Every structure is written in C-alpha cells, then in structure tokens.
C-alpha cells in the first residue's frame, strides 16, 4: 500500500456498539455493514466473536454477505477467543484477527495481575497462534498511551517478530495529548519494521480523539480506527467522518488520502443513528444538521457571494444537497430580500426597510422564520 494511503478501519459494529444503549440486532448490523461497504472503508470490525453467540452470529453473517472490505473480529490473547473468531470469519474473503492485551501498569496490576514478562509471553504466543491460521493479524497493546514507552516498544517488537502484520496503538481511555501521542507513534515508527502497518485507536474522553489521531498520522501511522458519528465507549471514538474530511480538506498539510466515498458520509451517519437510536447533535462536525447552515447575516452575505468565505468544505462532498441559509433574528437584509424574491415579492428600498423591521420583530420571538411567516409578514406590512 502506498505510503500516502490511510487505511480506514471502521469499528462502529464493535467498539461503537459497546456504547451503552447502542446495541444492534443482526439485521441492523447487516444494514450498517452494507452502508460501510458503500462508504468503501478498508476494514470492518464486525464484532467480538467470543463476547456472545449473537456477536459471533453477526460476525459470521457479515463475513458471508459483505465483500470488498477486510472483515475483522476482535479476540483476547487466548486460543479459545482466536478459535471462535476464526470460525466466525470462515466465509470472509479477507479475514483479520484483532488480538488485544493490556500493557499499562494499571492493567497489569489491577486487571490482569501479570508481570511484564508474562504479558510479552502471552501476547507473542497468541499472535503466533493466530498468524499460523490467518494471513492478517493485528495486535493492540490495550491502554498503550499509559504504558511505559520502553516496554511498549518491546511488546510491539516482539509481536511483530511473532507475525503481527498491523500493530494498533490505542489511547484506550482518552488520556493522551496530541503532541505526546504523536511523539509515541514517531518512536514506534523508528523502532518497528517499515513493512508493518502502525495504527491508532483514540477515545474522546477529553475531546481529543480526532486531534490525537491526526497527530498519529503525521507521525507515521497509516491506519485509523474510528466509528461513524464517533460513537463508542464512554465519550466515544475518533469520528470517521471528521478524520476523513480533515485529511481531505487539509491534504495540503497532511499529504495523505483515504479511499472513502465522502458523498456517502451523511447517509452513513443517518443509518448508524437509526440503528443505534443515538441522535446526531445539530452542531456535529461534517454531518450535523447545522454543519452547512448559516443564520448570521454577515455569514449569509459572505456565503451568498462566495461559499469559501465561510465554508471550507462543499456540502455535496459529504452528502448534503446544498448550504442551508436559515432566516432568524441574526439574519440580514440580503438573505431576506433573496428569499422574498424567490417567493415572488418585488420590493423597493422603502418597502424593504418596512418589511425588514417587521421581520426582526417576529424573529426576536422565533427560533427560525419559515415561508409561512414571511407571507404573514408581507400581509401585515402591506408593502406598496
């Protein structure tokens, strides 16, 4: 794969579904998987086969029905988990096993009760076992951002020697800061063989998931783990639509690209929202209802003159049909005159002053002015 190509690893159906209240049934998962296929993500993490019979069934169904993307199942660093993942992925054209094991002092002491030596032994044995049975094996040192850098380097080097083809560095609890996380990825890029893909998986506990992901890419990561609408554990994951459009919009800076069909982003967002019941906030970047909406008069005038004055992306590039100019109390004369003209009203300057004054009085008490309001204003103002 070209060094300027970023692999998009979508974990909406695994980590995304782990968000409390986001569980999906089999049919919902298949609908989302088809949307991800349309979106042209590179990898679909279809689930965690060992988590439940339902998860194993979903992974197997997606492996049977979805062609194109790599289909992946998560597994703990245990043979039983790996065997269940392999069974579920039996029909996949391009299967991947994703093994994880905690490496931080917190995880070693309180969750796993294992020494560093035992962590290395367990990780390498699991990767070796999986690689003997599957061409693509990914390993994640869970809580990597809170792991001692020297020990993290050792674990990564050893799992690569054991056969890992991708090594994913998770900021599992959203603890990292962009500069720190970028430096960690740069360190690993220096120490790990160039033919191994470095990946990042960032959580949003401090609102830094996308920023940390971009820092990782700048430092040499070439796979991004993300979810549609940024759903996931606690405050969620790196948002797929945000990181993809950041890389596209600022290609001048990053110099990399993805294979995502960006005009499908809004459809994917809606599909995941419907499947999970998680409403997308209006001011959500890229796919939110307000992402290409303007109410302030100065902004509206600028956008009407030239969209680039206040929009760095084209709405159609992410699946919106057009910019939405909202009539409200912050709107100015330019948009009001434009909308009234569209409705068939022709006003001279004096009439426009009178109508604009009435418009402002009404708008002070309404969140948005619609066409019916404008017709009423025109009747009450009785222009000309």
The segment(s) of the chain belonging to CATH 1.10.238 are: 292-384
The segment(s) of the chain belonging to CATH 3.20.20.70 are: 7-276
Confidence of residue 303 (pLDDT cuts 50, 70, 90): low
Kindly report, residue by residue over 235-265, the tens digit of the pLDDT. 999 999 999 999 999 999 999 999 999 999 9
346-354, Cβ contacts within 8 angstroms, sequence gap of 24 or more: 347/383, 347/384, 348/384, 351/381, 351/383, 351/384, 354/381, 354/383
Residue 272 has pLDDT above 60, yes or no: yes
Confidence of residue 384 (pLDDT cuts 50, 70, 90): very low
Residue 322 has pLDDT above 70, yes or no: no
- SS3 of 329, please? coil
- SS3 of 133, please? coil
**What pLDDT is attached to residue 296?**
61
CB–CB of 76/44 below 8 Å? Answer: no
Q: Which residues contact 235 (CB under 8 A, 6 or more apart)?
A: 174, 203, 204, 205, 207
User: Worst-scoring range by mean pLDDT, 91-100, 131-140, 252-261, 360-369?
Assistant: 360-369
Q: Percent of the chain beyond pLDDT 90? A: 75
Kindly report, residue by residue over 138-183, the tens digit of the pLDDT. 999 999 999 999 999 999 999 999 999 999 999 999 999 999 999 9
Residue 227 has pLDDT above 60, yes or no: yes
Mean pLDDT of the chain: 92
* Helices (H), ranges, the chain: 26-39, 53-65, 79-88, 105-106, 116-131, 149-162, 178-191, 209-218, 240-249, 251-254, 265-276, 297-305, 333-342, 349-363, 371-381
Gap between the Cα atoms of 380 and 373, Å rounded: 11
Q: Work out the widest C-alpha separation in the chain, in whole angstroms.
A: 87
Confidence of residue 348 (pLDDT cuts 50, 70, 90): confident
CA nearest neighbour of 173 among 246, 122, 254, 111: 111
Give whole-number Cα distances, 304 to 48, 113, 202, 326, 368, in Å.
Answer: 49, 62, 38, 12, 19
Residue 315 has pLDDT above 60, yes or no: yes
**What pLDDT is attached to residue 306?**
73
Kindly report, residue by residue over 191-211, the tens digit of the pLDDT. 999 999 999 999 999 999 999
116-125, Cβ contacts within 8 angstroms, sequence gap of 24 or more: 116/151, 119/155, 120/154, 120/155, 120/158, 122/77, 123/77, 123/99, 123/155, 123/158, 123/159, 123/162, 124/158, 124/159, 124/161, 124/162, 125/77, 125/162
- What is the pTM (predicted TM-score) of this model? 0.87
**What pLDDT is attached to residue 326?**
64
Residue 318 has pLDDT above 60, yes or no: yes
Q: Give the architecture-level CATH label for domain 7-276.
A: Alpha-Beta Barrel (3.20)
**What pLDDT is attached to residue 346?**
82
User: Worst-scoring range by mean pLDDT, 100-104, 242-246, 307-311, 351-355?
Assistant: 307-311
Question: Is domain 292-384 given the CATH code 1.10.238 in the classification?
Answer: yes
């Amino acid at each position: 794969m070209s060094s300027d190509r970023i692999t998009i690893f979508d974990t909406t159906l695994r980590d995304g579904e782990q968000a409390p209240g986001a569980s999906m049934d089999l049919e919902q998962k298949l609908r989302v998987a088809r949307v991800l296929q349309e979106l042209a993500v590179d990898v679909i993490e279809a689930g965690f086969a060992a988590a439940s019979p339902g998860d194993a069934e979903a992974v197997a169904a997606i492996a049977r029905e979805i062609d194109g993307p790599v289909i992946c199942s998560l597994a703990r660093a245990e043979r039983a988990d790996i065997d269940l993942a392999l069974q579920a992925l039996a029909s996949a054209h391009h299967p991947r096993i994703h093994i994880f094991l905690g490496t931080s002092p917190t995880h070693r002491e309180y969750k796993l009760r294992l020494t560093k030596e035992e962590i290395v032994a367990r990780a390498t044995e699991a990767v070796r076992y999986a690689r003997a049975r599957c061409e693509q094996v990914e390993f994640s040192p869970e809580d990597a951002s809170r792991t001692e850098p020297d020990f993290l380097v050792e674990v990564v080097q050893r799992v690569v020697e054991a056969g890992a083809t991708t090594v994913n560095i998770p900021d599992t609890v959203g603890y990292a800061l962009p500069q720190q996380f970028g430096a960690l990825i740069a360190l690993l890029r220096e120490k790990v063989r160039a033919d191994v893909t470095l990946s990042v998986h960032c959580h949003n506990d401090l609102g830094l998931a996308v920023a940390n992901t971009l820092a990782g890419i700048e430092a040499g990561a070439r796979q991004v783990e993300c979810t549609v609408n940024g759903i996931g554990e606690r405050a969620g994951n790196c948002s797929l639509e945000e990181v993809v459009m950041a890389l596209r919009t600022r290609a001048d800076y990053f110099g990399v690209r993805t294979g995502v069909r960006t005009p499908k982003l809004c459809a994917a967002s809606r599909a995941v929202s419907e499947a999970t019941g998680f409403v997308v906030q209006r001011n959500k970047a890229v796919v939110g209802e307000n992402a290409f909406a303007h109410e302030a008069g100065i902004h509206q005038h600028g956008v009407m003159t030239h969209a680039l004055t206040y929009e760095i992306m084209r709405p159609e590039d992410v699946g919106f049909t057009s910019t939405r100019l909202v009539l409200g109390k912050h709107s100015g004369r330019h948009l009001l005159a434009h909308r009234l003209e569209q409705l068939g009203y022709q006003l001279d300057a004096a009439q426009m002053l009178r109508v604009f004054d009435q418009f402002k009085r009404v708008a002070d008490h309404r969140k948005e002015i619609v066409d019916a309001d404008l017709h009423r204003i025109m009747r009450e103002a009785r222009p000309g």
